[in-house]
């Protein structure tokens, strides 16, 4: 995707770093106070993730799960039991039946480009942002759970009990559905998702799939990667290599 | 054909009040269950993130499907011009509306946020078959309501045929829509079949008629009005045909799935080694819900016997509930194929377990009770039932 | 649609109640702003009447479009309008009895749906 930097884009990128006063290369000083993202996200970007299962250790995966729980405050349900507990990201161990090779991977919402959860949601609560992040708008969610039926990855959780003391940036409540947000609140600030940040190696990379200068874009060009259930043609934003 | 006279039921007998009290108790229990489930959250139910639709959905979909089937009698009368069914048209419309109301009540009260019903009515995602279903259900109420009015008002009678055709078309679309709720779940192997939607249409014929027959026989018996064999035997034959048709569709559905290699896993699960689901399928759905009723309807020993027809209808309803249980719960219990050619050792891929709880069951039964109580009251206040359905009234040329 | 009904009722209700009302707990930070003679909201009557509209508009902007400005963010409301418990560093939830949100909402008998999901106190460590 061809891109020329214009002023809007410039503000957008700098807003991420909370620029009070910014100086353009040409020497013009921009003194507008920009505290946070003022402009809507656009489809010029598409956030994605590449998980290299060859390098990802089991400890890494546990760390990712832990980081996600800590960031969003799920996983401490007091009353829900078994499969009722929230689970935004899971650790999976997969064995190739032909070769016997075992891979470990983390599975969360794959942020599909053609998300079945969004298609089926009767109230538009399941939605995809312009930049490809799939979210549940809990203001509209009626808790019908049709999206959970439709998601091929069982990536979503239903809140089965009353919650208090939620994280400030992550409203969660009884009777609505939730899933991995790709840490949208961090991404909008120019940070990495919590799970990505928790891994010390390059086993998980996050970035703009469209930006040909981004690491994820370049790596995807070099290595062989797959989408889980690629046959469904959902064009997921989370890709895997080594399985 | 002689003039059919419709009359309200009296609704003053002890039996009437006993019936209302009994149904009321069920409805109260259902409301209590809803309060319990909504107050605590769904953790008090057997449902989970893997079995997201449980017992309430089994009842809700059964009632919705049966609702559109119950309209059949009216459709046969007006669309296909079969005079014998004409006197039954009003009741048919009523049973259809009552069943739909009961089903929708269960569906709505099982939502995570039933308090946001207004959102469901104001925010529509037109890509969602679910949203379309909401429109179809609301439309069904309107169209059948108008249809009933055309039948009740003498000066409107002349339009009843065209409205009847509209209602008939609408109900076919409605059941197709209900079936398609599953058809859109591409990743779930159990539902990955085009035949799902037509199968639901046929199921609706059978379940709706079974329910209708029970209502008809009970109301005529309890109000001591004559109900002739001409009517009952026709309905009984029709019921047999529908049940056989469902059986045929079930066979095609499973054979088709077996043929598709990628779905053989879930087929083996339902047909052979799915534990409770296999048992429910063979003993419940096939034997109890289809073969036994067919035998009761057709074998010379029981044919024409009203108690046996009643028993057959009850079994068909039970079998229908079991069939939906196997489809809905069984279909979810079997894990989705995430990595074809690979085995998942940890983290996913086991059979999900589900034990329905009492509140879930009570909510479902409450929906049935709401449907019956609505019928009971409406036949009391409006003339839905012909005062006589004796053979010579229904069909003067009937040979004794 | 229901949004307009709410707006309509809140207009009537605020007309009836808001002005005579002085006893509700304003919240620690809001208090100190007020005491310092400054104003945060441009017009008190506008924010009283229109806050559901503002919040609804903002929530769509933030959630659906990623616009994360501070104005009309619910987080902001909670931060300013929460009151600390006596002798403690913890806050009363803004929607609990006698606190900022609940005082008026109880009077006008409109439920607040925000806090079935949103946090009711300023985040730990925030101010
Ligand atoms: S992985 Fe599931 S929840 Fe996520 S976007 Fe795709 S369908 Fe929706
Ligand atoms: S549970 Fe909520 S997000 Fe999911 S389909 Fe229903 S309304 Fe949409």
pLDDT in tens, A177-194: 999 999 999 999 999 999
Asked if residue B1 belongs to a domain, the reply is no
The residues that bridge with B346 in the sheet, in sequence order, are: A93
Asked if residue A211 belongs to a domain, the reply is yes
Q: pLDDT tens digit string along B226-248?
A: 999 989 999 999 999 999 999 99
Query: Are A144 and B111 an interchain contact pair (Cβ–Cβ within 8 Å)?
Result: yes
Residue numbers in C near B122 (CB within 8 A): 1-2
Q: How many domains does chain B contain in total?
A: 1
**Gap from B180 CA to chain C (nearest CA, Å):** 29
Q: Is the separation of the CB atoms in B45 and B54 below 8 Å?
A: yes
Whole-angstrom distance, CA of residue A101 vs CA of residue A95: 6
Mutate to test the pocket of ligand 1, among A115, A118, A128 (most ligand atoms within 8 A of CB): A115
Q: Looking at residue A15, what is its pLDDT?
A: 41
- Has residue C2 got a pLDDT over 60? no
Lowest mean pLDDT among A94-98, B7-11, B378-382, C3-7: C3-7
Q: Looking at residue B262, what is its pLDDT?
A: 75
Q: Looking at residue C4, what is its pLDDT?
A: 56
Residue C56 burial (CB count, 10 A): 15
Q: Looking at residue B13, what is its pLDDT?
A: 86
Nearest CA to B175 out of B109, B111, B76, B96 is that of: B96
Q: Looking at residue A229, what is its pLDDT?
A: 94
Looking at mean pLDDT, say which of A18-27, A32-41, B155-164, B264-273 comes out highest: B264-273
Asked if residue B339 belongs to a domain, the reply is no
Asked if residue B377 belongs to a domain, the reply is yes
pLDDT band, residue C25 (cuts 50/70/90): confident
Asked if residue B118 belongs to a domain, the reply is yes
Q: pLDDT tens digit string along B78-102?
A: 888 888 898 999 999 999 999 999 9
The residue that leads in pLDDT, B79 or B66, is B66
- Has residue A21 got a pLDDT over 60? no
Query: Are A36 and C70 an interchain contact pair (Cβ–Cβ within 8 Å)?
Result: yes
Q: Looking at residue B399, what is its pLDDT?
A: 52
How much distance in Å is there from the Cα of B349 to the middle of ligand 1? Answer: 18
- Has residue C12 got a pLDDT over 70? no
Any idea what the CATH number is for the domain that residue A228 is in?
3.30.70.20
**Gap from A44 CA to chain C (nearest CA, Å):** 13
Asked if residue A2 belongs to a domain, the reply is no
Asked if residue B342 belongs to a domain, the reply is no
Residue numbers in C near A185 (CB within 8 A): 68
Asked if residue A55 belongs to a domain, the reply is yes
The sign of the torsion formed by the CA atoms of B230, B235, B240, B241 equals: positive
Minimal Cβ distance to A167: which of C64, C65, C119: C119
Q: How many domains does chain A contain in total?
A: 1
- Has residue B320 got a pLDDT over 60? yes
Asked if residue A172 belongs to a domain, the reply is yes
Place of tokens 């307009």: C4
Lowest mean pLDDT among A8-22, A52-66, A92-106: A8-22
Whole-angstrom distance, CA of residue A187 vs CA of residue A44: 15
Domain assignment of residue B107, given as a range: 6-334+351-392
Average pLDDT, chain B: 92
pLDDT band, residue B51 (cuts 50/70/90): very high
Q: pLDDT tens digit string along B143-167?
A: 999 999 998 988 888 888 899 999 9
Lowest mean pLDDT among A54-63, A177-186, B303-312, C30-39: C30-39
Asked if residue B340 belongs to a domain, the reply is no
Nearest CA to A105 out of A219, A225, A209 is that of: A225
Domain assignment of residue A191, given as a range: 7-241
> Cα C86–C91–C96 angle (5° rounding)?
100
How much distance in Å is there from the Cα of A153 to the middle of ligand 1? Answer: 7
Asked if residue B320 belongs to a domain, the reply is yes
- Has residue B70 got a pLDDT over 90? yes
Residue range A10-27: average pLDDT? 41
Mutate to test the pocket of ligand 1, among A120, A131, A134 (most ligand atoms within 8 A of CB): A134
The residue that leads in pLDDT, B150 or A21, is B150
Nearest CA to B103 out of B149, B69, B148 is that of: B69
Q: Looking at residue A30, what is its pLDDT?
A: 41
pLDDT band, residue B187 (cuts 50/70/90): confident
How much distance in Å is there from the Cα of B259 to the middle of ligand 1? Answer: 29
Minimal Cβ distance to A175: which of B41, B345, B347: B41
ipTM over 0.85: yes
Asked if residue B344 belongs to a domain, the reply is no
Q: Looking at residue C7, what is its pLDDT?
A: 52
Ligand 2 nearest-atom number relative to CA A145: 1
Question: What's the whole-model pTM score?
Answer: 0.89
Pick the ligand that lies closest to the CA of residue A88: 1
Contacts of B233 (CB under 8 A, 6+ apart): B304
Q: pLDDT tens digit string along B280-313?
A: 999 999 999 999 999 999 999 998 899 999 999 9
Q: Is the separation of the CB atoms in B164 and B79 below 8 Å?
A: yes
Any idea what the CATH number is for the domain that residue B156 is in?
1.20.1630.10
Average pLDDT, chain C: 81
Pocket lining: A155 vs ligand 2, CB cutoff 6 Å: no
- Has residue A14 got a pLDDT over 70? no
């Amino acid at each position: 995707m061809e891109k020329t930097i214009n002023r809007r884009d410039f503000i957008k990128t700098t807003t991420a770093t909370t620029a009070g006063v910014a100086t353009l290369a040409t020497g013009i000083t921009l003194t507008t106070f920009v505290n946070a993202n003022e402009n809507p996200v656009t489809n010029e970007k598409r956030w994605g993730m590449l998980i290299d299962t060859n390098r990802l250790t089991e400890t890494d995966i546990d760390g990712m799960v832990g980081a996600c729980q800590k960031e969003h405050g799920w996983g401490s349900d007091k009353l829900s039991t078994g499969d009722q507990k929230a689970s935004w990201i899971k650790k999976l161990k997969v064995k190739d039946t032909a070769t016997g090779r075992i891979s470990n991977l983390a599975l969360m919402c794959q942020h599909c480009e053609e998300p079945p959860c969004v298609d089926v949601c009767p109230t538009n609560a399941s939605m995809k942002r312009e930049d490809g992040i799939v979210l549940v708008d809990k203001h509209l969610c009626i808790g019908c759970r049709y999206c959970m039926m439709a998601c091929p990855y069982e990536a979503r959780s239903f809140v089965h009990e009353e919650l208090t003391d939620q994280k400030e940036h992550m409203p969660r409540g009884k009777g609505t559905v939730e899933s991995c947000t790709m840490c949208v609140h961090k991404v909008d600030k120019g940070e990495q998702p919590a799970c990505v940040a928790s891994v010390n190696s390059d086993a998980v990379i996050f970035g703009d799939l469209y930006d040909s200068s981004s690491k994820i874009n370049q790596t995807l060009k070099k290595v062989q990667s797959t989408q889980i259930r690629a046959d469904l043609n959902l064009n997921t934003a989370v890709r895997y290599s080594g399985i | 054909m002689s003039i059919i006279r419709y009359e309200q039921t009296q609704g003053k007998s002890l039996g009437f009040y006993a019936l209302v009290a009994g149904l009321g108790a069920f409805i109260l229990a259902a409301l209590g269950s809803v309060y319990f489930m909504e107050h605590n959250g769904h953790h008090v139910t057997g449902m989970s993130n893997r079995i997201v639709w449980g017992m309430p959905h089994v009842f809700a979909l059964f009632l919705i499907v049966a609702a559109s089937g119950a309209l059949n009698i009216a459709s046969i009368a007006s669309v296909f011009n079969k005079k014998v069914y004409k006197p039954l048209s009003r009741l048919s419309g009523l049973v259809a509306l009552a069943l739909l109301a009961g089903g929708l009540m269960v569906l709505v009260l099982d939502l995570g946020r039933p308090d946001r019903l207004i959102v469901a009515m104001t925010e529509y995602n037109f890509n969602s078959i679910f949203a379309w279903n909401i429109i179809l259900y609301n439309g069904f109420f309107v169209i059948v309501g108008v249809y009933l009015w055309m039948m009740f008002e003498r000066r409107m009678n002349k339009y009843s045929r065209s409205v009847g055709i509209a209602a008939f078309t609408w109900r076919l679309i409605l059941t197709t829509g209900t079936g398609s709720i599953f058809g859109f779940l591409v990743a779930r192997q159990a539902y990955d079949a085009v035949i799902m939607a037509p199968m639901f249409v046929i199921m609706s014929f059978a379940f709706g008629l079974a329910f209708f027959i029970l209502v008809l026989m009970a109301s005529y018996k309890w109000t001591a009005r004559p109900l002739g064999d001409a009517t009952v035997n026709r309905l009984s034959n029709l019921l047999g045909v529908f049940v056989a048709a469902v059986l045929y569709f079930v066979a095609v559905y499973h054979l088709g799935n077996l043929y598709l290699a990628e779905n053989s896993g879930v087929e083996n699960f339902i047909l052979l080694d799915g534990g409770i689901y296999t048992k429910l399928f063979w003993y419940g759905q096939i034997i109890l819900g289809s073969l036994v009723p067919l035998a009761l309807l057709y074998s010379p020993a029981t044919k024409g016997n009203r108690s046996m027809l009643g028993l057959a209808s009850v079994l068909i309803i039970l079998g229908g509930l079991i069939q939906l249980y196997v489809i809905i719960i069984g279909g979810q219990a079997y894990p989705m194929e995430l990595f074809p050619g690979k085995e998942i050792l940890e983290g996913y891929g086991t059979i999900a377990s589900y034990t329905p709880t009492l509140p879930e069951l009570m909510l479902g039964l409450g929906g049935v009770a709401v449907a019956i109580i609505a019928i009971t009251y409406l036949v009391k206040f409006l003339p839905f039932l012909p005062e006589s359905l004796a053979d010579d009234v229904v069909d003067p040329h009937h040979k004794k | 649609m229901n949004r307009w009904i709410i707006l309509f009722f809140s207009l009537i209700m605020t007309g009836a109640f808001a002005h005579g009302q002085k006893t509700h707990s304003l919240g620690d930070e809001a208090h100190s702003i007020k005491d310092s003679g400054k104003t945060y909201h441009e017009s008190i009557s506008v924010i009283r009447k229109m806050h559901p509209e503002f919040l609804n508009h903002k929530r769509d902007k933030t959630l659906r479009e990623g616009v994360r400005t501070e104005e009309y963010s619910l987080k902001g409301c909670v931060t300013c309008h929460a009151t600390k418990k006596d002798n403690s560093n913890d806050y009363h939830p803004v929607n609990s009895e006698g606190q900022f949100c609940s005082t008026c909402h109880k009077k006008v008998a409109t439920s607040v749906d925000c806090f079935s999901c949103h946090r009711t106190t300023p985040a730990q460590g925030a101010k």
